[in-house]
A = this chain, B = another copy of it.
């Protein structure tokens, strides 16, 4: 039933070795042999057994892509970018969902390691990744996106967080806003960079920073639908009363959900009463009323660069770790 290389070799009247080399183009083979091998392959409908190949050659040609939230279009587009460079080189992407859960993330990583993936691309759930020290072998090429891991140094590909926010906040200031709030759902290095961009824009425009305009908290991760009236939604009333902002810079996409929903439900006029910009573009920003301005990341490009760097590291594991930044783009829509 199963047709193997031996069958092909036999039918073609050559050795297994030659068959292997024909398939992999791994050494010179006579025209004639190539012809007969290919013919045999077709006639027998032979397919290589990748498992055997992987066992023998010691690599799986699989790359694990471990993501906090597969529902997020951002990661899917990073994946598309990764695929664009990895697939032509014979690597397959294995999408794995951690569902914002650090324990599942740990399990997923261990799983991938057990399955002999050749490389890992991780969007970590948490800031601190030191636990990975124990479960990811030093020899396994690993790259981080979205968050710079703490306690576990590897290649990273990230957006220009602080410049992206700077550009948006600078725009708001030029439009005359002086009380601009900064809201983020989770506190981590990435959010810090974004907040720094905000601070810098204020400083460069000689505006002082009022701490009550910041609301950066630990918001428990949740599916998008649950964020509509989640913690941030519930925190808004008090926040708005306390600091009366005329514009809001929202530091991440999930935060935007609760904030926007609160403002709509309470009939705030956007942008007249409160202007809005959110970091990270989402499809729904374009269907909302008003449409929402965004600091757009370029997830496909992030994927492409990450793929290239991983490919390099797959070749030589000793190179110095890189921290590559992908530019963001400010998209003005109706909300500011």
Which residues of A approach B to under 8 Å, CB–CB? Answer: 47-52, 54-55, 60, 70-71, 73, 76-77, 79-80, 83, 92, 94-95, 97, 99, 111, 113-116, 224-225, 228, 257, 260-261, 264, 283-284, 286-289
Residues of B within 8 A of A80 (CB): 97, 99
Using known A-B contacts A51-B116, A70-B76, A97-B79, determine if residue A225 contacts B289 with beta carbons closer than 8 Å: no
Using known A-B contacts A55-B51, A73-B71, A115-B50, determine if residue A283 contacts B94 with beta carbons closer than 8 Å: no
Do the beta carbons of A287 and B286 come within 8 Å of each other?
A: no
Residues of B within 8 A of A288 (CB): 284, 287-289
Do the beta carbons of B225 and A283 come within 8 Å of each other?
A: yes
Do the beta carbons of B55 and A70 come within 8 Å of each other?
A: no
Residues of B within 8 A of A283 (CB): 224-225, 284
Chain B, Cβ-Cβ closest to A260? B287
Chain B, Cβ-Cβ closest to A73? B71
Option from B51, B73, B83 in Cβ contact (under 8 Å) with A60? B51
Do the beta carbons of A116 and B73 come within 8 Å of each other?
A: no
Chain B, Cβ-Cβ closest to A111? B92
Residues of B within 8 A of A289 (CB): 264, 288-289
* 15 pairs of residues in contact across A and B, judged by CB atoms under 8 Å: A51-B116, A52-B55, A70-B76, A70-B79, A71-B73, A79-B97, A80-B99, A83-B97, A92-B111, A95-B95, A224-B283, A228-B287, A257-B287, A260-B287, A261-B287
Complex formed: what's the CA distance from A257 to B287 in Å? 8
Do the beta carbons of B225 and A116 come within 8 Å of each other?
A: no
Option from B52, B71, B92 in Cβ contact (under 8 Å) with A76? B71
Chain B, Cβ-Cβ closest to A113? B47
Chain B, Cβ-Cβ closest to A62? B115
Would you give the shortest CB distance from A63 to chain B, in whole angstroms?
A: 12
Complex formed: what's the CA distance from A115 to B117 in Å? 13
Residues of B within 8 A of A114 (CB): 47-48, 50
Residues of B within 8 A of A225 (CB): 283, 286
Chain B, Cβ-Cβ closest to A256? B287
Chain B, Cβ-Cβ closest to A289? B289
Using known A-B contacts A80-B97, A225-B283, A286-B225, determine if residue A116 contacts B49 with beta carbons closer than 8 Å: yes
Residues of B within 8 A of A55 (CB): 49, 51-52, 55
The 4 nearest A-B residue pairs measured at CB: A284-B284, A95-B95, A289-B289, A51-B55
Complex formed: what's the CA distance from A264 to B168 in Å? 27
Would you give the shortest CB distance from A61 to chain B, in whole angstroms?
A: 9
Complex formed: what's the CA distance from A80 to B286 in Å? 27
Do the beta carbons of A92 and B115 come within 8 Å of each other?
A: yes
